[in-house]
Structure 1
Amino acid sequence: MMRHLLSVLLASLSVATCGGTATTPTTGIDDRYHVITTTSMFADLAKMALGDTAHIESIVPAGADVHTFEPSPSDVAKIQSADLIIANGLGLDGWVDAVIDAAGKGEADTLLLGEGLDHESGWVYLSKAEAAGTADPHIWLDPKGAVLYVQRIADRVRRDAPTVAQRISVSSADGIKMIKALDQDIAAQFFAIDPARRKIVTMHDAFGYFARAYGIEIVGVAVASPGQDPSAQEIRALIDAIRAAGVTALFSEVQLPSKVLNQIAAETGTAVLQDLYSDALGAAPADSYLGAMRTNADAILGAMR
């Protein structure tokens, strides 16, 4: 699959550059350090880390699904112009490897935020693949993980662009302060709720870190991964678990269709509440990392109270 994607991108890029004017990197954006991220979520964390010292773009648009995203030749051109490509790794955005190869970039130009991480709080494993030891890649949904990401971005660009290192230090410190304040506020609200009510069902297996941070039990997920529909047996098991746990609300996600969730809600008499934001940002007030996390927390808290 990845090899096929690489060949398609290379062929498309070759066609675009043959017999006429060649496609050139868009280095004329401005003179700042140029960062390309896979998702809008990481783009906003990069903005918190770097402030106005860098020009930052996301490949996957807000509201799109990073798991099933199909890059285009224009994405190759974007990456060609980048000083740094930021991805998560851990299986979240593996398609970016082919784009990086097609753009003639490599490991030296890439920062994988989730890999090689000294994750002090320990890993959360995907519920459908726990026996295989598959780590949940959604580390940033615990604000402590987002702090680690901001620190990693700041450290890398300070090394690459020492002339703006002091400004990056100020920006990243401010960003981390805001994330920690948000974390404290959200935690205080969740831990004021009876633990028996801190139970949720989500669309896909993305909220393990969020749940652990705030003492929430994830009773189940509608799909193990985007694009993988559950079997009838899995749906029945989830319906039984919802009834046994007394869960009253199910949460969809902004970038994923909720047909399966609607089916489960109809059978259990529960409500499907507003979309949560996991991999991508959305419209205001969820157009920033802080706003998306606040939106998620408010929606879940509202269902528990």
Structure 2
Amino acid sequence: MMRRALSTLLALLSVAACSGTPDTSATTADNTYHVVTTTSIFADLAEMALGDAATIESIVPAGADVHTFEPSPSDVQKIQSADLIIANGLGLDDWIGSLIEAAGRGEHDMLLLGEGLDQERGWIYLQQSEGRGTVDPHIWLDPKGAALYVQRIADRVSGDAPNLAERITASSADGLKKIEAVDRDLAAAFAAIDPSRRKIVTMHDAFGYFARAYEIEIVGVAVAAPGQDPSAQQIRTLIDAIRATGVTALFSEVQLPSKVLEQIAAETGTTVLQDLYSDALGAPPADSYLGVMRTDADAILGALR
């Protein structure tokens, strides 16, 4: 893995050397602003914040896994052309660092949506499971976290391009109302489920904020992160927890293989539902952030009822 990452970085740097010096000035003379995001989720949140005041593109395509994504040399040009590069931080998309270096850009060109929220906005971070001592980066899976992201994007671009501020204010206000409406609908739907039944098992450690928002207990996760295999003892512990709590459905994610969950389901007599989205948009109706939240909620509610 280290050797592959090094070779990728060298390739990116080689492309950058042939591409010349990046133009880091904001392209706002014609009322446009170009944003590049690491994931399709963040691209959609940026669109909610900025509307037609910006052009937006994602490096990781919809349906792909941000955890295992490896940038290609062609991504350097995207970074060089951007007025702003949006990433999450908190360990989710660290590979963006190699692109920033290769493109000759710096920290001032970036907005890390997930970092510093506890200091600036009063957000309370969750720690990831398995005693790893790292912050859970999946903040957007609580709509209140997504709203903070939208506001951060709006504030940053309005500051960079004051001539776009009026349009951004209108777009972000509309986006925030839509996020609030989804949050309200989901809260009402989960409140109608008996608390003793609000228990789930997920494929990886991504749904902590979602669970906190709607008072769901995550009994366990199959893998700490995509690409990591659990030990035999971890599988046994999860099986025991499933039997003890009466969980009947195990949730995988559309873009992730579910062999471990299938093994656990076979031993516990439960069902694997490969219906959830966490890090990327998907096919309709999950082709927007709001669609992802409703799709995830519908899948979980259907299993809990």
Check 1:204–1:53 CA distance in 2 against 1; reply closer, same or farther (3 A cut): same
Q: What is the match of residue 113 of structure 1?
A: 113
Q: What is the match of residue 200 of structure 1?
A: 200
Q: How does 1:1-305 map to 2 (within 5 A)?
A: 1=2, 5-14=8-17, 17=18, 32-118=32-118, 119-129=121-131, 132=133, 134-305=134-305
Offset at residue 275 of structure 1 (A): 2.2
TM-score between both structures, scaled by the size of structure 2: 0.93
Amino acid at match of 1:126: Q
1:25-44 Cα distance to aligned partner (Å, 9 max, x none): 7999x862000000000000
Amino acid at match of 1:34: H
Amino acid at match of 1:127: S
1:59-99 Cα distance to aligned partner (Å, 9 max, x none): 00011110110000111111000000000000000000110
Offset at residue 6 of structure 1 (A): 2.4
TM-score between both structures, scaled by the size of structure 1: 0.93
Check 1:24–1:195 CA distance in 2 against 1; reply closer, same or farther (3 A cut): same
* Residues 41, 279 of structure 1: 8 Å contact kept: yes
In structure 2, C-alpha distance between the alignment counterparts of 1:224 and 1:255, rounded to whole Å: 16
Matched residue SS, 2:210? helix
In structure 2, C-alpha distance between the alignment counterparts of 1:200 and 1:121, rounded to whole Å: 24
Offset at residue 139 of structure 1 (A): 0.4
Matched residue SS, 1:250? strand
Offset at residue 8 of structure 1 (A): 2.9
User: RMSD in angstroms over aligned alpha carbons?
Assistant: 1.9
Amino acid at match of 1:8: A
Matched residue SS, 1:123? coil
* Residues 253, 275 of structure 1: 8 Å contact kept: yes
1:260-288 Cα distance to aligned partner (Å, 9 max, x none): 11111111111111321100000000000
Matched residue SS, 1:86? strand
* Residues 84, 109 of structure 1: 8 Å contact kept: yes
Following TM superposition, where does structure 1 have runs of at least 4 consecutive aligned residues deviating by more than 4 angstroms? 22-28
* Residues 89, 137 of structure 1: 8 Å contact kept: yes
Indicate the larger mover: 109-118 or 294-303. 109-118
* Residues 23, 77 of structure 1: 8 Å contact kept: no
* Residues 60, 66 of structure 1: 8 Å contact kept: yes
In structure 2, C-alpha distance between the alignment counterparts of 1:121 and 1:219, rounded to whole Å: 24
* Residues 24, 77 of structure 1: 8 Å contact kept: no
